[in-house]
Structure 1
Amino acid sequence: MLKVLLPTDFSENSRNAIDYALHYYKDDECVFYILHTYTPMAYRVDYILGSPAYVGLGDNWQSETEAQINEFCSEIEHLNQNEKHKFVTHIALESLLVEVLKVTSKEEIDVIVMGTQGATGAKSIFLGTRTRNVLKVSRCPVLVVPEGCFYKKPEKLALVTNYKRNFSADILAPVKQVLSRFKSSMHIMHINEEKQLDSIQASNKNTLDVYLKVFKPNYHWMPNFTNKTKSIQVFIKELDVDFLTMIKHERDFFGSIMREPVIKKVSFCVEIPFLVIPVND
């Protein structure tokens, strides 16, 4: 049975990501873990030292939040009515990042599905701090659903790669699952940072082709614009891609994209779901 973690702050964006997950996995037997966390006042000193102003905060928060998340879950179950789906609620007086790692490890979560922004997210920022942090540390795949992105069957799946790291069956398993599930077409994008692939890149490309041969992948080379995110944006628009996948190495292509100011300060206008697959270096 598939185990899916759904972080929520009860915002419209997080609810939309949950609705997407329910449609995406409608044919699978799943346990959905609905997670809500609260961090008290950025760990203020008076809270940590037990100031009278904060006495009972945990108890009050827990009782109120339990009622809220139970009502939230009941509404979802009522609208979903899928016998293959089960729901487990989890709340914690802790940072989202810490609790995501705890729950992912304890429950052996297969995938995390979350929105790009929380209730307080600025409209001009594509990835909120919480989402970006989860992407950086998650040990399982993370499916990110942009604000206003409603479910549709993925027809064209794209994988962005620089071919500098080797591929394995485990790494590509999430990609193959999407392709098999939805019979999507496969498009592999490489940003043209060099005149030709070196021997390592060529070998990795051959390995990728072997693993995905049954899906008849299409290979694309994109110009290296002012930044990599721009290249991805143009590629998605030109090919009308509706599902993006990226493989996250700690010190590789994904990391360089995460460091680009376009994600931190401006808008990274990707309006389609994207799946980030972590690899332990």
Structure 2
Amino acid sequence: MLPTDFSADAWNAAKYAISLFKEEECTFYVLNTYTPTIAHSRFMATSVVGKACEDVVKCNSEKGLKQFVERINNECYNANHKFEIISSFSLLVDEMKNIIETKNIDLVITGTKGASGLEEVFMGSNTVRMIRSIKNCPVLAIPCNFTFITPSEIAFATDFNRFYTNSELRPLLEMAKSFKAAIRIVHVQYEIKALTEVQQFNLNMLRKYLSEVEHYVHTVSELNSVSKTLEIFSNELGIHLLAMLNYQHSYMEKMTREPVVKRMVFHTQIPLLVIPELGMGTPPHSKRGKQEPVSNPPQ
């Protein structure tokens, strides 16, 4: 799914998505939602003015979606790709939840800021709302102006305090297999110390799940904040994509709940894959084909 507000940021996210899946047959659901403000007049019934206002906004939404897909086909045509447009009089996140369920969506790809975004903010309010609210589908947030790079280096940030299930790790593993990417597990510590028994067990299980792909473990000291540390780590190692699981007390959960002033220090320079907490009883779904294991052994 590609939610769009027709901003440059949304267009950049769409281009990234098309490049990411250029070798695969897939359907993109392009979504725009609208909630028009009801106008009031002393000389007209409110319901009449409201209906006229809704019709105008609906028309603009549908027209914008058609132009958006036409631009994609003109600039990024790929015979493997199909596009379906959805214009909905609804709140964005509510409609996204509905489409994820009814269309069996594998991945949401969105820009990080949108039409009213501020350059110095970690992520736009809509993106943060998506991450907090969507519980059954990964969200891939693409920074404005980020040019697609085949992700051969993927960082996965974790503190090893939680047991990860195979279903939760599937989006990360599929992407690593698809692009023959190395996964760099990064653990940020306030002060470097040995792992607890629970953390060591969770690390061992994580490595077992990732045994089919090349992977490494990095322990780094915290610099000012976890978010700033991950930014520096990504820059120094040439990371193309940063992945996190979103659960209570996770790195991701902490960052989305920070005040805007604190988030200003963290600039999302690379795509961010946020994987929702699924738990042991939630079976994953995926339409992607079975991948051959990567021959590189774990390090």
Aligned-partner residue type, residue 67 of structure 2: E
- Relative to structure 1, the CA distance from residue 179 to residue 213 in structure 2 (aligned partners, 3 Å threshold; closer, same or farther) is same
Per the alignment, residue 176 of structure 1 pairs with 173
Per the alignment, residue 145 of structure 2 pairs with 148
1:150-165 mapped onto 2 (5 Å cutoff)? 150-165=147-162
Deviation at 1:280, TM superposition (A): 3.5
Find the partner of 1:230 among 225, 228, 231. 228
Per the alignment, residue 221 of structure 1 pairs with 219
Which one is further off, 105-114 or 249-258?
249-258
Which one is further off, 54-63 or 205-214?
54-63
TM-score normalized with structure 2 length: 0.86
Deviations 1:169-206 (A, max 9, x none): 21111111111111112211001146221111110000
Per the alignment, residue 266 of structure 1 pairs with 264
Deviation at 1:74, TM superposition (A): 1.7
1:126-141 mapped onto 2 (5 Å cutoff)? 126-138=122-134, 139-141=136-138
Deviations 1:109-135 (A, max 9, x none): 110000001111112212000011001
Per the alignment, residue 192 of structure 1 pairs with 189
Per the alignment, residue 113 of structure 2 pairs with 117
TM-score normalized with structure 1 length: 0.91
Secondary structure of the residue aligned to 1:206 is helix
* Cα distance in 2 between the residues matched to 1:181 and 1:57: 46
Which one is further off, 57-66 or 230-239?
57-66
- Relative to structure 1, the CA distance from residue 265 to residue 257 in structure 2 (aligned partners, 3 Å threshold; closer, same or farther) is closer
Per the alignment, residue 70 of structure 2 pairs with 74
RMSD of equivalent CA atoms: 2.1
Deviations 1:128-170 (A, max 9, x none): 0001100111120011100110111112111000111112221
Contact between 1:126 and 1:263, CA under 8 Å: does it hold in 2?
no
Secondary structure of the residue aligned to 1:120 is coil
Deviations 1:33-88 (A, max 9, x none): 000011234xx7969x9455423222222223222211221221232321111000
Per the alignment, residue 21 of structure 1 pairs with 17
1:99-118 mapped onto 2 (5 Å cutoff)? 99-118=95-114
Contact between 2:33 and 2:61, CA under 8 Å: does it hold in 1?
no
Aligned-partner residue type, residue 91 of structure 1: S
* Cα distance in 2 between the residues matched to 1:93 and 1:116: 22
Gaps of 5+ in 1: none
Deviations 1:85-111 (A, max 9, x none): 100000112221111111111111110
* Cα distance in 2 between the residues matched to 1:207 and 1:169: 10
Contact between 2:168 and 2:278, CA under 8 Å: does it hold in 1?
no
Aligned-partner residue type, residue 88 of structure 2: A
* Cα distance in 2 between the residues matched to 1:69 and 1:18: 12
Gaps of 5+ in 2: 280-299
Contact between 1:229 and 1:262, CA under 8 Å: does it hold in 2?
no
* Cα distance in 2 between the residues matched to 1:101 and 1:264: 29
Would you say 1:167 and 2:164 are equivalent positions?
yes
Which one is further off, 249-258 or 119-128?
249-258
Contact between 2:36 and 2:57, CA under 8 Å: does it hold in 1?
no
Identity %: 31
